Amino acid sequence: MFYVLSIFLVIVLIIIVANVKVVPQAEAYILERLGGYQSTWSVGLHVKVPFIDRIAKKVPLKEQVVDFPPQPVITKDNATIQIDTVVFFQITDPKLFTYGVENPIMAIENLTATTLRNIIGDLELDETLTSRETINTKMRASLDVATDPWGIKVNRVELKNIIPPATIKEAMEKQMKADRERRESILRAEGEKKSTILVAEGKKQSAILEAEAEKQAAILRAEAKKEAMIREAEGQAEAILKVQQANADGIRFVREAAPDEAVLKIKSLEAFAKAADGQATKIIIPSEIQGLAGLAKSVVEIADK
């Protein structure tokens, strides 16, 4: 009897321990009673009724990342490309997540492919390649609305890779090469243009400097010529002044000497004698001086004897 009671107590203890559950952080347990939803256990210690209650699902509440394989998508201009997406989502309602859809991850994948085809179908290839942020925003908004009844919140959607067909990829590479060559040609032309402008500016500045130098030299030459002419004029004026001063002094000396009439006539005769030494062929001598000339000749003869 003791052994039976001991076994019974051990069984009861095992049952109690088996029905005591501790829910960890960032998880939620869905509890069902007799096949129907009973409650959602959050973090902490919980006890369920043996044989009646069961934990239907353990739901992670952390943000999850799902990387879906590439999906073939046709653009507006009929180009088929491969796009693989990455979806970041978080479960906000464990009950809806458990009972809302059979396979939530597969449902999100199919919904992502469908939404992606709808969005890319309205865009051309060039727009698709350059509008990643726009596509990500539209997909996130559409998926968030569609997954809300499932207790899922889509936080972000990223286009991981956009793979165009080989022919389009080759054409794009050729276009990129042509663009690089065009930019290189433009840069080279701009450099040559700037170099030509700099050379022309240098020649212009050189011509201006040469003209300025010639102008300054001409001004200096004119100034020097002007100063020489001024000095020459001053010298001539000074010489004339000295001659006039000498004449004035001579006249003054004559006046101070008070010569008589005979002396004046002799001086006049000397003046005519100097005139006769010149190149003149005819000299007219006043009658007053003629008599004086004869007198002077007589005086000279007497002096010679």
Top mean-pLDDT range of 80-94, 115-129, 218-232: 80-94
DSSP state string for 202-258: HHHHHHHHHHHHHHHHHHHHHHHHHHHHHHHHHHHHHHHHHHHHHHHHHHHHHHHH-
Residue 206's pLDDT band (cuts 50, 70, 90): confident
Q: Name the nearest CA neighbour of 148 among 95, 96, 88.
A: 96
Burial level of 83, CB count in 10 A (0-12/13-18/19+)? buried
Output the six-digit token pair for 30.
């869905």
Backbone angles phi and psi of 113, in degrees to 5: -60, -45
Mean pLDDT calculated for residue range 216-226: 86
Mean pLDDT calculated for residue range 123-136: 85
Residue 65's pLDDT band (cuts 50, 70, 90): very high
Top mean-pLDDT range of 2-6, 175-179, 190-194: 190-194
8 A C-beta contact, residue 156 and residue 88: yes
Please compute, for residue 107, the number of CA atoms within 13 A of its CA located in the half-sphere on the CB side.
Answer: 17
Does residue 97 have a pLDDT over 50? yes
Structure confidence at residue 62 (pLDDT): 92
8 A C-beta contact, residue 58 and residue 82: no
Residue boundaries of the structural domains of the chain:
2-60, 64-164, 261-305
8 A C-beta contact, residue 112 and residue 87: yes
Structure confidence at residue 4 (pLDDT): 74
The region of weakest confidence among 42-51, 68-77, 162-171 is: 162-171
Task: Report the C-alpha gap between 96 and 92 in whole angstroms.
Answer: 9
pLDDT tens per residue, range 13-49: 888 888 888 899 989 999 998 888 999 999 989 888 8
Angle between helices 104-120 and 132-147 (to 10 degrees): 140
Task: State percent of the chain over pLDDT 90.
Answer: 13
Query: What top-level class would CATH report for the domain 64-164?
Result: alpha beta
Quickly count: other Cβ atoms within 10 Å of residue 114's Cβ.
13
Structure confidence at residue 302 (pLDDT): 43
Mean pLDDT calculated for residue range 169-192: 83
Does residue 125 have a pLDDT over 50? yes
Task: Report the C-alpha gap between 135 and 254 in whole angstroms.
Answer: 128
8 A C-beta contact, residue 40 and residue 30: yes
Task: Report the C-alpha gap between 276 and 282 in whole angstroms.
Answer: 9
DSSP designation for 153: E
Residue 254's pLDDT band (cuts 50, 70, 90): low
Does residue 128 have a pLDDT over 80? yes
The region of weakest confidence among 66-75, 120-129, 256-265, 280-289 is: 280-289
Task: Report the C-alpha gap between 41 and 61 in whole angstroms.
Answer: 12
